[in-house]
Amino acid sequence: MQEDSPQPNPPLRRVLASPWPLTLGLFVPLWLLVQSRVWLGLELGVVDRGVLELWVHGPQPGWLDWVPFIHPPGYSLFMNTMDAVSRAAGVEAASLVFWFGAVLTLTASLLAVRVAQQRWGALPAVVVSALVVFDPQSLRPFEHYPLARLALLCAFLALTASPRVSLAAAIAATFVSVEIHLSSWFLLGPLLAWKVVFGDGDERGWSGRVLLSLLGLFALTTPFGLYEALAFGGGPGGDPGRATVEWANPFLLLALLLALRGRLRGPALAALCFTGITWALQTLQLADGTPFPYSLHYFELVGPVMVLILVGAWVEVRAATVNPKSTVTLLAVLLVASQWTLFLRGLLEIFVQGRWILMVG
C-alpha cells in the first residue's frame, strides 16, 4: 500500500498562503523598531552621524538646477523642498529626511512584495519580503536616496509590466527616475537597449519610443547647468577607496547569475551593468570610492529591483529543476540569512558601540 505523502504543516501553510501576515505582522514591526532605536540613538548622541548620513549637502542654489557633483534637477528640487518644509515646520532637516525616508523605503518594500505576489504567488512574495524589508541599505536614508529608490523601482516595473503600461506612464516613470538620480540611467538605459535589440517586434517599437522620448526630455534639462556641473568635476579627489557595494549583499549579485539563462536575462544584465559601471566609477575615483562604511549609497537605488529579478529567477529554476525543490528552497533560505546578517552588521556600524542598541529606550 502506497504511503500518503507528508502534508505541509497546516498552520505554516496558512501563514505562507499570503505574504502579508509575516510582512505586516512581523517584518515591518521589527524594521520600525530598528528605526526607532536608531532615532533614539541619534537623540542620545550614541549614533555615529558620519556613518549614518542624513542631511549633508543642504539647500541648493536653484530649484531646478544641475549641481555638483552631477546631480540632476530633481535633486535640487528635493533638497530645497526638504529645506523649505523643515523651516516652515520648525524641525531639523535631518529628522525630516530620516522619517520621510523611512516612509518611502517602506513604501518601496511593500510595493515589491505586492508585485511579487501578483507575478509569482505567495511563497516567492514572502522571500521578497524577507529580503527587501531587512535590506541593509535601508538603514541609511541619505537625502534623496529613498525617493530615488522608489522612483527607480516604479520605472523598472513600468518597463517590465505585463500587460504593458501606457507609453506615457512608462516615459513619465523613467524620466522622473533619472531626474532624481542620474545613476538610474545605468540600469534603465541598458534595460531599454536590451528590449530594443532583443525584444519582440511590438516590444522593440514600444521600448524604442520610450528610450527616444527619455533621451529627448533629458536633453531639455541640460541647459539648467549640466555642462557647468560636468566642468566642476565628478567628485572629491584623494586616495581611491575600494570598489564596494556599500551595505548591499554581494550574494544578491551572485544570485543574479541565475537569471542569465531565463526570461529575466535582460533585466539581470541591466542590473549587472549598473554594478559594473558603479564599481568602475568608484574605483576610478570619478565617484567617491571611500571604503565601507563611509561609502556612497548607489546600490541603495537598486535593492528592490535586484531582489525582484533574482526571486523571479528563483521561481523559474524551482519550477524547472530536476533536483529536489528543497535544495533550491535551501539556497533561498541561505540568501535570506546572509541578508539579515548584513542588516545586523550595518546596524552595529551605525552605533558608536553596538551594545548601545539595547540600551536606548
The span from the CA of 112 to the CA of 26, in Å, is 17
pLDDT value of residue 329: 80
pLDDT at 69 over 80: no
Instruction: In the chain, count H helices and then E strands.
Output: 16, 0
Does 23 fall in a domain? Answer: no
Q: How far apart are the first and last CA of the chain?
A: 61
pLDDT at 111 over 90: yes
Q: Give 179-216 pLDDT, tens digit per residue.
A: 999 999 999 999 999 999 998 889 999 999 999 999 99
pLDDT value of residue 261: 81
Average pLDDT over residues 159-188: 95
pLDDT at 326 over 70: yes
Does 270 fall in a domain? Answer: yes
Q: How far is residue 321 CA from its own chain's centroid?
A: 29
pLDDT at 344 over 50: yes
The span from the CA of 129 to the CA of 348, in Å, is 22
The span from the CA of 287 to the CA of 315, in Å, is 36
pLDDT value of residue 5: 44
Q: SS3 for 157-218, per residue?
A: HHHHCCCCCCHHHHHHHHHHHHHHCHHHHHHHHHHHHHHHHHCCHHHHHHHHHHHHHHHHHH
pLDDT at 3 over 50: no
pLDDT level of residue 354 (50, 70, 90 thresholds)? confident
Does 338 fall in a domain? Answer: yes
What number of CA atoms fall less than 13 Å from residue 270's CA on the CB side? 26
Does 20 fall in a domain? Answer: no
Does 116 fall in a domain? Answer: yes
Q: Which residues pair with 47 in a beta bridge?
A: 351
Does 147 fall in a domain? Answer: yes
Does 35 fall in a domain? Answer: no
Does 212 fall in a domain? Answer: yes
Structural domain count, the chain: 1
pLDDT level of residue 1 (50, 70, 90 thresholds)? very low
- Which is more confidently placed, 189 or 14? 189
Domain carrying residue 323: 57-348
